[in-house]
Structure 1
Amino acid sequence: MAHTFQVTVDSAAPHDLADWWAEALGWEREPSDEAFIRRMVNAGHAAESDTTHHRGALVWAVGAAIVHPEGTAPRMLFQRVPEPKTVKNRVHLDVRVGREQIEAEVARLVGLGARELHRGSQGPSTWVTLADPEGNELCIS
């Protein structure tokens, strides 16, 4: 049986990190269903403290998601956690832009707040490992 999945990233500031990754990947923020959130709060299934506002929209405080504009990739969920990132990721995203676009993409992402960690190569393959604004690793290849 085949399964679907989403990629979940722990975050100190999930709405800001979701914005960063949406810009980095050219994806879209999953829209907030403000009416649903209000209904949950009004019915007592959630508290006002479970919500916040981000860029003028009422959102769940605990997380935010981004989606591929054509729906052809797994959803990415950014969830709030209390602890900071302290060690290297065991899983990371490889963003494949093609050899001729690596330098331009690295420069663009660094301009958005990424930090270059190191460069690697194996045979004909080359990549640059970056960290997003919260330190999560990703590779550009």
Structure 2
Amino acid sequence: MACRISELVIDCADPERLAAFWSEVLGYVELDREDDGSIEIGPPDTGFGGPQPTLVLSPSSDPRPGKLRLHFDVNATDRDQDAELERLLALGAKPADVGQTGTENWHVLADPEGNEFCLLHTRFQPL
């Protein structure tokens, strides 16, 4: 028996804003709200416990200590990388420089709070 990732928790200044951003990026919906201001988002048909992890956006006023030690990699499911890059930038993602050489086949971006993530080249079929 092994574990699997069921949810990822992101500390953030504005859970509402990041929940809206990541819901649009991933096609997720709001699943739950806690009294502390945390918002859980996840796949619309399965929610928590499905094959994809949910995200919990948890309010925090702690400053970010620097470059994240963990980041998301995302892949388009219904368009090519260039079209997906345009969509992510229109949603509020910004290009980020983490020391790439310029020869990579992925794009490094940051969400509205500056959390880095990568848009990979490979297109996945939806689950």
Q: For residues 18 and 83 of structure 2, what CA distance do their matches in structure 1 show? A: 21
**Per-residue deviation, 1:84:** 2.9
Unaligned runs of 5+ in 2: 121-127
Query: Are the structure 2 counterparts of residues 117 and 30 from structure 1 closer, same or farther at C-alpha, using a change threshold of 3 Å?
Result: same
Structure 2 residue matching 1:105: 3-state secondary structure: helix
Contact 1:85-1:134 within 8 A present in 2 as well: no
Contact 1:10-1:80 within 8 A present in 2 as well: yes
Q: For residues 23 and 17 of structure 2, what CA distance do their matches in structure 1 show? A: 10
**Per-residue deviation, 1:11:** 0.4
Identity across the alignment (%): 34
2:90 to 105, 111, 115: 111
Q: Which residue of 1 aligns with 2:39?
A: 64
TM-score by length of 1: 0.69
Q: Which residue of 2 aligns with 1:76?
A: 55
Q: Which has the larger radius of gyration?
A: 1
Q: Which has the higher strand share?
A: 1
TM-score by length of 2: 0.76
Partner letter of residue 74 of structure 2? V
Residues 107-139 of structure 1: per-residue CA shift (max 9 Å, x gap): 1111111101146555xxx10010000001111
Q: Which residue of 2 aligns with 1:93?
A: 72
The CA RMSD measured in Å over matched residues stands at 2.1
2:102 corresponds to 1:127:
no
Q: Which residue of 1 aligns with 2:31?
A: 30
Count of aligned pairs between the two proteins:
111
Q: Which residue of 2 aligns with 1:21?
A: 22
**Per-residue deviation, 1:73:** 0.1
2:4 corresponds to 1:4:
yes
**Per-residue deviation, 1:61:** 3.6
Q: Which has the higher helix share?
A: 1
Structure 1 residue matching 2:87: 3-state secondary structure: helix
Query: Are the structure 2 counterparts of residues 31 and 8 from structure 1 closer, same or farther at C-alpha, using a change threshold of 3 Å?
Result: closer
Residues 16-57 of structure 1: per-residue CA shift (max 9 Å, x gap): 21111001111111144xxxxxxxxxxxxxxxxxxxxxxxxx
**Per-residue deviation, 1:86:** 4.0
